[in-house]
Amino acid sequence: MHEKQISITALSKLLKSENSVLSVAECQGCLTGFRCMGLKHFNDDILPHLNQLLNNGEGISENLQKELQQSFVSIDHTFSSDSFQIHLSLPEESQNAQLKYLSLWCEGWLLGYGLSPADNTFSEEVKEGIRDIRDISRVDYDIQIDPSESDQFEKDFYQLVSHIEVIIELVFLENNSIDNKTTPTKLGSQISDKLH
C-alpha cells in the first residue's frame, strides 16, 4: 500500500471514530479546494472551518487535527513543487467505490472552494471546468457496472480523473497568478491545452 493510501486510510479511521459528518473523500477534496483558493495557513485559515464542518463546531481531537494537517501539508507540497502536477489518490477498491470516492471528493472540493473568501472570478474555461466538477459531484455512484463493460468504464474513468486534475491545476493557476509570480505562464498554457 502506497504512503498516500496509508495516510488516507488512517484519516478515514479517525473521521469514523469521531463520527464526522464528512467522509475522507470529502475532507481530501475540501482541503484541496481551500489550497486552490489561496488558503495556506492550516491553524489560522483552515482549522476553524474544519471544526465547524466535521463536528458542528464542537471541536475535533488533537490526533485528527494532526492527521488533517499532515494531509494539507501533502496537498500544499503538490501545489508548490517544481513539477506541479495534481494526482488524485483513489482507493484501491472496486470501480463503484472509486466512482463514489471521486464524486464525494468533488463535493468536498466545491465545499472548500465555496467557503474561501477569495474573489471567484475566473475565465470562462475554468468556469466550465468547475461546472464539470459540480456535475460529477452529483453522479449516481450506486449504479451497477456491467462486468462486460468494466474495461471501457476503467478507460472512461481514467479520462474523467485526468480531466478533474487539469481543472484543479487551472483553478489554482488562475487564482494564484497574482500572488504567485513564480507560476510559469507556459505551464498554464500547457495545462489549458490538455482540456482541448
Confidence of residue 180 (pLDDT cuts 50, 70, 90): very low
Confidence of residue 58 (pLDDT cuts 50, 70, 90): confident
Q: Which domains does the chain have, with CATH numbers?
A: 3-194 (1.20.120.740)
Mean pLDDT of 98-122: 85
In the chain, the N- to C-terminal Cα span, in Å, equals: 34
Alpha carbon distances (Å) from 137 to 119, 182, 193: 22, 32, 24
Q: What is the pLDDT of residue 96?
A: 87
pTM, 2 dp: 0.83
Cell numbers describing residue 80:
508548490
- Contacts within 8 Å (CB) and 24+ apart, 176-181: 176/38, 179/38
Q: What is the pLDDT of residue 68?
A: 93
- Convert the pLDDT of each residue in 149-177 to its tens digit: 888 888 999 999 999 999 999 999 888 76
Q: Are 116 and 45 in contact (CB under 8 A)?
A: no
